[in-house]
Amino acid sequence: ETGVTQTPRHLVMGMTNKKSLKCEQHLGHNAMYWYKQSAKKPLELMFVYNFKEQTENNSVPSRFSPECPNSSHLFLHLHTLQPEDSALYLCASSQLSRGQGEKLFFGSGTQLSVL
């Protein structure tokens, strides 16, 4: 079993739908992240959770709502999305190490298409 598991792998939704992306890490890490990956653009950090507490929200629209019930699970709730939100959404985890070059472990992502 891989260290960071994301479901579903692919998701197609209409602009009025509500859906959720799920991420689970089996590495015992204490930090989890959501990234957005669009074609030919740098990865965009969306949210960061340290010890289940949200520490970063990089001006993400409210139609994206994260939830971190414990240090192993992370969700991204989606509603009334726009076509420009179509992208690969990557979850990652790390072990906080006082800034000593923390290594990110990524899941395989959810490829989201908004119609």
Footprint on this chain of other proteins (rule: CB under 8 A): 4, 6, 31, 33, 40-43, 45, 48, 55-56, 90, 92, 94, 96-109
Q: Which is nearer to other proteins, 2 or 82 (CB)?
A: 2
**The two three-digit tokens of residue 48, written as one number:** 């960061």
Query: Min. distance of Cβ 97 from other proteins in angstroms?
Result: 8
Query: Min. distance of Cβ 80 from other proteins in angstroms?
Result: 27
Residue 21 near residue 110, CB atoms below 8 Å: yes
Cβ-based neighbour number of residue 47 at 10 Å: 22
Query: Min. distance of Cβ 53 from other proteins in angstroms?
Result: 12
Q: Which is nearer to other proteins, 14 or 28 (CB)?
A: 28
Could you tell me which residues come within 8 angstroms of residue 85 by beta carbon, excluding any fewer than 6 positions away? 63, 64, 78, 112, 114
Q: Which is nearer to other proteins, 36 or 78 (CB)?
A: 36
Could you tell me which residues come within 8 angstroms of residue 84 by beta carbon, excluding any fewer than 6 positions away? 114
**Pairwise CA distance, residues 96 & 11, whole Å:** 31
Q: Which is nearer to other proteins, 9 or 18 (CB)?
A: 9
Query: Min. distance of Cβ 15 from other proteins in angstroms?
Result: 26
